[in-house]
Amino acid sequence: MKAPPAVLTIAGSDSGGGAGIQADLKTFMAHGTYGLSAITAITAQNTQTVQSFCRVEPKMVAQQIHAVMEDIDVKAAKTGMLADAQVIDAVCDAWQAHGNVPLVVDPVMVATSGKRLLDKEALDTLRTRLLPLALVVTPNLREAETILDLAPNSIDSVEAMVRAAQEISTRFGAAYTVVKGGHLPGESVIDVVYERCTGHVDEIENKRVQTSNTHGTGCTLSAAIAANLGQKLQVVDAVRRGVRYVNECMQTGYKVGKGQGPVNHSYAMRTMEIVPTLHNPHPFTEYLKAQTNGLWEQYTGHSFVRQAAAGTLSKQAFIHYLKQDYAYLKHYARATALAAFKSDSLGRVAELVDAMQACVRESELHVKMCNHWGVSQREMEDEQESWNNVAYTRYIVDRGMSGDVLELLVAMYPCLLGYGEAALAASADSRSQQADNPFGPWIAAYAGDEFQAAVARGRRVIEDLVREDVLGGQRLRRLAKTFRDTVDLEIRFWDNALEHN
C-alpha cells in the first residue's frame, strides 16, 4: 500500500487537546496525510487558560527535526508556538539543513484564551530568520499588527488587511501571506491571500459561524494548508480548502470544557468530507466540484455559453452543438434507464424514469430550435456523432456497466448540474434576454424552473445515495475521478462546437 504524504508540525503541546501539535496531528490525519511532530514547548492549559508552559531545549528541538527528516520524506511542514529566540534559531538552522520543503509559518503569539505565548525578544528573530523561509505565513489581525509594529486594532478593514499582507511579504520575504479576518466584525469572514512574486490578491469569503468552539483555529488552518501542500495542491487552492475545512470543523463542533472549546477536527475523518453542515447542505456535490482543480469553473463559464448569452455565437456552431447533443441525449436517456435498472428502490426507479422522460423533452427543444433554422429532424437523426461525443457517451456507459448506480449517476452528474449552473450564470447577462438574441430561449430553458427542479432532484438522489453508503478513500477517489473526467469531456464537447464557428 502506498504511504500517504508525510507532513511535519513543529509546535507546542496543548494538554487540552484543541490546539498545538494535538490539533495539527488530528488535522493531518483528517486530510489523509501522515503526521510527524517536533515539540517545542509543553503547556499546561485547558479551554479557559494557559496556566504555565516550559520550552523544550533548543538542541532537542533541532534533534527532533533532524531525526524525522533524515529518515522520512517530508512533503510539507508547519510551525506553531516557538517560545523564544533560541528555539526559533534552532528551528531555522535545522530547517536550512534539509533542503526545500514547503513551510507554513503560523506566527503564534497569543492563544485564543488571551495568554501570550511568544517572548517579545523572539519577535525580531521570527521576522529576520523564520519568515524568509516561509512559503506561506498565516497571521491573524493582531499578529500582523505585531509583526509590522502597528498600533493595536489598526488593521480594521479588508483594504488594511491587503496592505498588511503586502508589507509582510515584501519586508520579510514570505512567498505568500494569508491575513486572517476573523477578528473583523460582520456576517462574513474574509481572509486575504497575497502572492509576493505577482502581487496578486485573492479574497476568500465565508459565512461567519456563530460558535464559542474556536480554540485552536489558527493551528488547524496552518496544519490544513500544510497537509494540502503535502498533497501537491497549488498554494491558493491549499489555502481555500484549508479555510473551508476550518469553517466546517467549527460548524460541526461540540462543547468541551468550560471555556472556548475546540473545533471538531474529526468530522471529516469520519465522513470523508461529505457530512452536511449548516452552510453546506450538499457536501458531496461541493466535494466533487472542488476535486476538479478548476475544471468546474472552466466548464460552467465556458466561452460557448458566454457567446450564446451575448448573442455572438455563430449559427453553425450552435446547430452543430444541437445535432451532437441530440445524439448525446439518446445515450443519456439509456444510461438513465440503466441507473433505474440498477436501483433497488421503487421510489428511486420512479425518479429516474422521470429523468429519462425529461431527456425526451429536452431533445424536443433541440428539434424545435433546429427546425427554426431550417434543419429537419431527419438531418439530426442522420448526423454522424463526433469522436468526442462517442468518447463521452461510451465513458458513461462503461461506468454504468462496471460500477454501481452511484458511480453511474456521478458520471452523468456534470451534464445535469453544469447546465443548470451555466444557464443561471448566462441568464444574469441582460443580453441573453433581449428579443433579438436567437440563443435566449436555449438559455432560458435551462435556467427555468422545470430544469432547475430536475437539477435539485438529481442532486438529492446522489446526496441520499452517498449518505446511505460508506465511502472509503479508494472508492471516493474513483468517484472524484469519474466526475472530473466527465467534466473534462463536457468542456471538450463545447470546444468541439466552437470549432465550427
Q: Which residue has the higher pLDDT, 309 or 281?
A: 309
DSSP, residue by residue, 111-155: -TTS-B-S-GGGHHHIIIIIGGG-SEE--BHHHHHHHTTPPTT--
Report field, pTM of the whole predicted structure over 0.85: no
Question: 18-22, 197-201, 224-228, 322-326 — which is least confidently predicted?
Answer: 322-326
Confidence of residue 377 (pLDDT cuts 50, 70, 90): confident
Cβ contact 14:45 at 8 Å: yes
> What are the phi and psi torsion angles at 314 (to 5°)?
-75, 150
Res. 12 pLDDT band, cuts 50 70 90 = very high
DSSP reduced 3-state for 466? helix
pLDDT of residue 344: 76
Kindly report the backbone phi and psi dihedral angles of residue 109, in degrees, each rounded to the nearest multiple of 5, phi listed first. Answer: -125, -35
Q: What's the whole-number mean pLDDT along residues 173-193?
A: 94
Beta-carbon-side half-sphere exposure of residue 441 (alpha carbons within 13 Å): 11
In contact, 12 and 80? CB cutoff 8 Å: yes
Q: What is the pLDDT at residue 428?
A: 94
Active-site residues, by number, are 180, 214, 216-219
235 vs 281, higher pLDDT? 235
Q: Are 138 and 229 in contact (CB under 8 A)?
A: no
pLDDT band of 24, cuts 50, 70, 90: very high
Q: Is the pLDDT of residue 333 over 90?
A: no
Distance in angstroms (rounded) separating the CA atoms of residues 313 and 315? 7
**pLDDT category of residue 39 using cuts at 50, 70 and 90:** very high
Contact between residue 222 and residue 19 where contact means Cβ atoms under 8 Å apart:
no
Tens of pLDDT, residue by residue over 224-273, are 999 999 999 999 999 998 998 999 889 888 888 888 888 888 875 544 44
